[in-house]
A and B are shown apart, each in its own frame.
Chain A
């Protein structure tokens, strides 16, 4: 079974631009979560989608948005980029979102904002 894939792997943008990141979960997985990770910080939860509905949302400004398609693929969008948005963005998928359902992570998209 193929793992979680994320595109692009690396991205360089300038302040004020917007960016869209893509995540394809493991086949059959319906839950997709997005995280931001910066050096020295733990995983900061952005949001979770399940069956095309946003189920959970972290404490990020409205510039961060996402969606999930009927095939469970998910996209994350950041508008009006700021220097502080430079980070590794990780996507994780799981079959459900209960109990021992493990989240499997993709390789991440490393975003640099100049």
Chain B
């Protein structure tokens, strides 16, 4: 079946680095997305990976290993505004390209 796993909640300190993991088991794979969602707001796009390796975008980086069904989002120099939920989603071409979503990881940043 389709399954995407993320930790439910993580806590980190302002200025530090945090890694949010995502593992997936889907019938097909056509890319993995990371979204950020602040409480009460809509999700906003962070990154897209379709090939193995690390993609860096400023303070945020995303890594993908297709053979392991694994991705992580790395956040550096954490700021209080990074407190949000982070959602991982996989596009599955065998499910008519539907996006399969994880439940999200709530990240709490402490001063």
Q: Which residues of A are at the interface with B, using a C-beta cutoff of 8 A?
A: 33, 35, 40-43, 45, 48, 55-56, 90, 97-100, 102-108
Contact = CB atoms under 8 A, between A and B. Distances in A.
Given A42-B102, A104-B45, A105-B42, A98 B50 contact: no
Interface in B77-107: 87, 89, 91, 95-99, 101-104
A56 B103 contact: no
A89 to B, nearest CB: 11
Interface of B: 30-31, 33, 41-45, 48, 50, 87, 89, 91, 95-99, 101-104
Nearest to A41: B103
Contact of B48 (A42, A43, A100): A100
Given A43-B43, A45-B99, 12 more contacts: A42-B103, A48-B98, A56-B97, A98-B91, A100-B48, A100-B50, A102-B33, A104-B45, A105-B42, A105-B43, A105-B44, A107-B42
Contacts of A107: 41-42
A34 to B, nearest CB: 12
